[in-house]
Amino acid sequence: MSVQIKICGLSTPETVDAAIEAGATHIGLVHYEPSPRHVALDQARELRDRVRGKAKAVLLLVNADPELTGRALNAIQPDIIQFHGSETPKWIGGIRRSLSYEVWKAVGLKDAGTLTRSEKYIGMVDRLLFDAPAKKLPGGNGTAFDWSLLAGHDHKIDWALAGGLTADNVAEAIRATQAPLVDTSSGVESAPGVKDPQRIADFCRAVRSA
């Protein structure tokens, strides 16, 4: 089965189109004001409509309260909601049970113990996104983690790989982890929040080569 590709933090029609043309299966829309990739809800809705039927739209929220979560979901109607903060399994599980969205949770992978602790999300999420540990921002920091932590791991939840992935290292990352889905954001940017269509194309080509 071919590896799925998520290009996250898209904010313009041109880069959304570039991601679709390059073969991305998922596009990520970040609604989190501290991020340089933040998009307002009306802007995110327009981008979401642009990919309808072409790729899955992922709405990324960070520690959003119930009011903002509901408002964002109603405005954008994504295929998937990705929680990228300190949201609890109980909170996320409640969203998954009550609403008709696929639900993902990002986990900063520090050590083997993180993998064990991540099992608390069994039955609460549809996919775990293993990322580098958070810094000033919860994601999009361009930092990789030790991929050997995932080598041979018996995953009990569908999962994806993020964290510092670029066209130069993604094939190696896939071979090392057997990731079914890879996610990049800063790895296809020319500056923070500025996606580069050529880097998007190069990344997707590198994934296919793996």
| pLDDT of res. 112 | 87
- The secondary structure element, H or E, covering residue 14 is helix 13-22
- Domain positions in the chain: 4-209
Q: Give phi and psi for 113, each to the nearest 5.
A: -65, -30
| pLDDT of res. 134 | 61
Instruction: Return the CATH architecture of domain 4-209.
Output: Alpha-Beta Barrel (3.20)
Collect the ranges in the chain with pLDDT lower than 50: 139
| pLDDT of res. 138 | 54
**Residue-wise pLDDT tens digits, 133-181:** 865 555 455 667 889 999 889 999 999 999 999 999 999 999 999 999 9
Q: Which residues fall within 8 angstroms of residue 80, CB to CB, at 6 or more apart? A: 26, 56, 57, 58, 59, 101, 102, 103, 104, 126
CB atoms within 10 A of CB 53: 4
